[in-house]
Structure 1
Amino acid sequence: MVTISDIHPFKNLENKKEKLIEEKERINEEALSRYQELLEKSEEKPDEEDVETVHETAKKIEARIENAEDLDGPALERIIFGNDLFPISYLQSGFNIGNSVCRIVLSDRVGRVVGYGTGFLISPSLIMTNNHVLDKEEVAVYSTAEFNYQTDENNVLCQSTIFRLDPDKLFITDKRLDFTIVAVQEFSGDNRRLTDFGHLKLSPNLNIMENEYVSIIQHPQGGHKAVTVRENRVKFLSEDFIHYVTDTQPGSSGSPVFNDQWVVVALHHSGVRDPNDRTQWVANEGIRISSILKHLDALIDHSE
C-alpha cells in the first residue's frame, strides 16, 4: 500500500524541478526585454551617430590592444579587421582552458539529481556559476562539481573527477547579475587535487566589442563537455550584459564566454526568444565579467 510518506519525497523533488524551470523562465523574459530595448535603440539610431560610433570603436580597439597579453601574430588583425587566420595552437589553448570548466550537478539532501548547470574555476579554490543554478548555501551543500566529464578523440568517456562544494567556507551570490561564487573542497573522493584543473583569470579591464566573435565551453543539458567556436558574433552590448548569437542548451547556464584570446568576457545565463515567434531563439545573453568584478569590489569596499 502506497502511503503519503512514500509520495512526499517525490513531490518535493518535482517541486524543486518546477521551481528551477520557473526561475529560468523569469530570467529568459528579462533577457528578452533587454534585447528588445537594445534592438529598438539600434533601429532608431540616426545616421549622424555613425561617425561617433566609429571613433568609439577605435578607442575600444586601442584599449583592447593595450590590455591584451601574449597576442599571437594575427591577433591584432582579428581584432581590427576580422581576419580568420589562427595559429594551430589556438585549438590546444582552448582545450587546456577547458580543464577548468565543470558540470554542476544539483542534488537534494537524499542524493537525487534535481538539475544541472556549468561552472568554472576562477581561483585555486573557487567556482563561478549562475545564481539561478546555485541560489542558496543549502542548495550548494548537496551539489557537486564534476571535472573532465567529456569524451576523448576516440569518443570514449574520460575518467571524471567529482568535488563537493564548500559553501560554509565562502558563498557569494547576486540575483540581478545572476552569479554565484562558491568554495570547493580541496580534494575529490578519489584524492585528486582541485588545483590539478587550473583556473581562469578574470580581468576587469577587458573591452568586448559588438561584432567580435565569442566561444563558449559548456555542458549542454548536463551532458558531456562541448564547445561552440567562433562564428558567434556579439550583437549588442549594454552596461552589464552582452547579447551574442551562438548555440547553447539547458544546462549551459554558468558557462564561461571567451574572446579570441580565450579570456573570459561574460558569464552565460540565458537564451533570448524571438519576440515574433516564442518557440524560436534569436540570441543568448551573458553578464559582463567586468560588471561582476565591479560588484565584488563594491562588496569589499563596503565591508571595510
Structure 2
Amino acid sequence: MGKTIKLTQLTDVLSDLVPIKDSIPKYVRDAGLKIQHIDTTGSAMNVWNNVLYEADKHHAVDEVVRAVLNIYPENPFLKAALSEQEIDYTLDKDINPIWHKFENLQLEKLTMEQSTLLPINFLAKGVIKSKAVAKVEIDKGGNMVGKGTGFLIKVKGIDDLFFITNYHVLPDKDKIDKIRIVFDFELDINDNSVASKSFYIDEEGPWYSSGIHELDTTVCKLKDDENQLKNYGFLELDHTDLPEDKFVNIIQHPGGEMKQISLYHNIITYSDERIVQYLTDTLKGSSGSPVFNSRWEVVALHHSGGEKRNGEVELPKGFKSRNEGIVINPIVEFIKSSHGKNN
C-alpha cells in the first residue's frame, strides 16, 4: 500500500499535536481501531505512522482525524485533512508561480550559487533567540485563548526593555488587564512541556502604537516585580537590509500552539520600504512574530498573509500562499521617535 503525500504530512501533524506516544492509544480507540493490531514501539512519529497505515487499510483515516479534532477543534491542518482531494494541506507553498518569475540566470543563482548550508552554531544561536519570544493570550470568559505572538526587544541606542507585537493583536490599552504574556510555552528536547511563566502588561508604562494600515505595531512594557524577565533575554532591533531571493525564519506560536519555528525554503519574494513578503509557514496566532535573517537579526515583524496573486493555487480556507511582515527599519524609527517624545 503506497503512502500518499496526505498521509505522510498527516503523520507529521499528528506527531506535533500528540508528541507523547502513551497518549496515542486513546485516539486509536476513539477511531474504532484496535491498538493491539498496531506496533507501538519507537517514537511517537513511528507510532502515528503505524496508526495511519492501519487506519488506511480499514478506510478509517478520517475517523482518526476526527478523534484528534475533538481535542483540537480549530486546528486547520486537521480540518484540511478531511478534504477528499489529495492536496498538500500543510502551509507549504506551491512555489512554481514564484520560480516562474525568475529569469534563467536568477534561477541558476538560487539553485546553484546560493548555498543554504549554515554553520552548526546557527541552531544554538536560534535557541537563545527563541527565549525572547512569547505567546500573547486574552481572557475570554475565564478562558485564556491564544491571540498572537510577541517578543522582548531593545532598540539600538535605547536601554529600555520593551515588548512588541502587532497593533491588531494589542490595539486597545483599556483592555490590557485581560492580556497575559506567556514565555517558555514549548517542548524540551525530550518532548516534555517546559514550565511556562506568565507576565502582564505594565498599565503605567509606555504604550506606542501604529495602526494596521501603517506599521501594525504595538510596543509596551511588562510588569517584572520579581526581576524574572532577565531570564528571557531580548532581541536587539536595528536597521537591516532586505534583499530579495534571501531566506527568512520565523519563531512563533501558530494557532496558539506551543512555540515553533519555520526554517528554510522561506524565500523573500517582494519587499519595499514598508512590507516584506515571503514563502513562510504561519497560522493565525503567528501575528507579532519576529522574522529573522540567517544571522538571526530581526528584519521584520510578521503581521499577515500576503494577497493572493493571479494564477496561484487555491488553498483551504484560512491558508495563505504567501506571508507578510512589516520591515523593521521604520519600526525602529517609530520607537525612537515615540520614546523620545516621552522622555
**Could you tell me the TM-score, scaled by structure 2's length?**
0.61
Q: Which of 199, 208, 214 is equivalent to 1:172?
A: 208
- Which structure's CA Rg is the greater one? 2
1:267 is aligned to 2:305: no
How far is 1:291 from its partner?
Answer: 1.2
Q: Give the conservation status (yes or no) of the 8 Å contact 1:125–1:195.
A: no
How far is 1:196 from its partner?
Answer: 1.0
Paired position in structure 2 for 1:106 = 138
How far is 1:303 from its partner?
Answer: 6.5
Give 1:63-142 correspondences, 5 Å limit.
81-108=113-140, 111-123=142-154, 125-142=161-178
Q: Which of 224, 230, 234 is equivalent to 1:186?
A: 224
With a CA cutoff of 8 Å and minimum separation of 6, indicate the structure with the bigger relative contact order. 1
Q: Give the conservation status (yes or no) of the 8 Å contact 2:244–2:268.
A: yes
How far is 1:298 from its partner?
Answer: 3.9
Q: Give the conservation status (yes or no) of the 8 Å contact 1:219–1:225.
A: yes
- SS of equivalent residue, structure 2 residue 332: helix
Paired position in structure 2 for 1:258 = 292
Paired position in structure 2 for 1:195 = 230
1:211 is aligned to 2:249: no
Give 1:140-155 correspondences, 5 Å limit.
140-155=176-191
Q: Which of 268, 271, 279 is equivalent to 1:234?
A: 268
Q: RMSD of the TM alignment (CA)?
A: 3.0
How far is 1:169 from its partner?
Answer: 1.0
Paired position in structure 1 for 2:278 = 244
Paired position in structure 2 for 1:296 = 335
**Unaligned ranges ≥5, structure 2:** 1-96, 155-159
Return the letter of the residue paired with 1:196.
N
Q: Give the conservation status (yes or no) of the 8 Å contact 2:166–2:287.
A: yes
Q: Give the conservation status (yes or no) of the 8 Å contact 1:125–1:185.
A: no
**In structure 2, what is the Cα distance between the partners aligned to 1:159 and 1:260?**
29
**In structure 2, what is the Cα distance between the partners aligned to 1:222 and 1:115?**
4
**Could you tell me the TM-score, scaled by structure 1's length?**
0.68
**In structure 2, what is the Cα distance between the partners aligned to 1:172 and 1:119?**
14
Residue deviations 1:108-166 (CA, integer Å, cap 9, x gap): 5x643354210000036311000000001122232111111000111110111111111
**In structure 2, what is the Cα distance between the partners aligned to 1:302 and 1:181?**
14
How far is 1:219 from its partner?
Answer: 0.3
Return the letter of the residue paired with 2:207.
F
**In structure 2, what is the Cα distance between the partners aligned to 1:131 and 1:282?**
23
